[in-house]
Amino acid sequence: MRISIKKSVWIMIIFAISFCLVGSVSGADNTPKVKTEKSADNYVARVNGVDISQVDLKRKFNLIKERYASMGVPLDDAKLIEFKDNILKSLIEQEVLYQESIAQGIKVDPEEINAELDIFKKQFETEAAFKKQIADMNYSEDAILSQIKQSKTIQKFIEEKVMPTISISDEETKTYFDTHPNEFKMPERVRASHILLKVDPKASEASKAETLKKIEGIKSKLDNGEDFAKLAGESSDCPSSAKGGDLGFFARGQMVKPFEDSAFALKPGEVSGVVETQFGYHIIKTQEKEIATTLAYDDIKEKLTAKLKEDKFKGMFPSYMESLKAKYKIEIPGKESKASEDKTSKE
């Protein structure tokens, strides 16, 4: 299995304490401000004088319900109450981390925040689709920017102030490598491109025959020396057409079997005949091949050390979070404040 540190620790933290892509909204500058949303119950918690609003909690709670409903998963009253309690806890912890980040002098470049928003927007086909989606979620673009700022500030705090305090010895790294050999086995992989002409499963035989004739025509052009990437860009129904049909590397078991069998049977540079799958008709070109191998310790040591460091941080995060919260005055309406609880316990 390939070791791949694709997500930095901050991603883990944001998702560990925030159930949704977007969450509570903090102040627009580097000084935490009291939120001002107006409601019958204006706040559900307060961290060092900064309100976490009922609106924030309701937004996340509704998103959780909608997410489960879209998956057809029923939620009983007990589970909904549990979700609401967990969401409130996550909002409090996120605010504590943000305030601690500010207190530690962490600042994020506004250009970095705007760049992150641009990446988020690219998930949508148009600007209008983006605005409609966030409006349906009861968010504004300013709210999204504020959440990105908060998340990126916490990210920087974790990376610059917390992670350097965690160490992994060479002995720990080598022991893990020696005791988890299967994690460092790289399967045989192939990099392939394809041209796909889709066929509706319910299409008539006449329609299928017409599509087959069309892709056979494309194959004739390839046989006569025309460029594969160019024809893929012009003709393929797959989104990979934007990259000349390139699907990147994949191992066995990641593609449907007829496609996989053909791709692995070809030599680099060879082009298949017409291959039929449940998606339609393909022409496949194998670009590169990688044989199965096992990663060497020296080659993987740096990434493995980073992985073990992340694992150690994940393990210590709950206790770290509790110690951090003890530094802050946390108030929840109807409950004794954290500061009061600590004072009572000391007496």
Give the whole-angstrom CA distance, residue 153 versus residue 143: 15
Pairing of strands 293-294, 185-186: antiparallel
Q: Domains of the chain (ranges plus CATH)?
A: 9-170+298-346 (1.10.4030.10), 188-291 (3.10.50.40)
Whether residue 6 has pLDDT greater than 90: no
The number of helices, as runs of H, and strands, as runs of E, in the chain is: 12, 9
Cβ proximity of 218 and 235 under 8 Å = yes
**pLDDT band at 63; cut points 50, 70, 90:** confident
Closest by CA position to 283, among listed 195, 198, 201: 195
Give the whole-angstrom CA distance, residue 333 versus residue 323: 22
**Dihedral-angle region of residue 284 (phi above 0 means left; psi in -120 to 50 means alpha; beta otherwise):** beta
First to last CA, the chain: 54
Give the whole-angstrom CA distance, residue 101 versus residue 5: 24
Give the whole-angstrom CA distance, residue 221 versus residue 225: 7
Q: Mean pLDDT in the chain?
A: 84
Q: What is the pTM of this model?
A: 0.62
Q: Which residues contact 271 (CB under 8 A, 6 or more apart)?
A: 222, 228, 283, 284, 285
* CB atoms closer than 10 angstroms to residue 216: 13
Phi, psi of 285 (to 5 degrees): -125, 120
Q: Summarize pLDDT for 73-132 with one digit per residue, the tens.
A: 777 888 888 888 888 999 999 999 999 999 999 999 999 999 988 988 888 888 998 888
Whether residue 344 has pLDDT greater than 50: no
Q: Which residue has the higher pLDDT, 336 or 158?
A: 158
The pLDDT value given to residue 336? 55
Whether residue 343 has pLDDT greater than 60: no
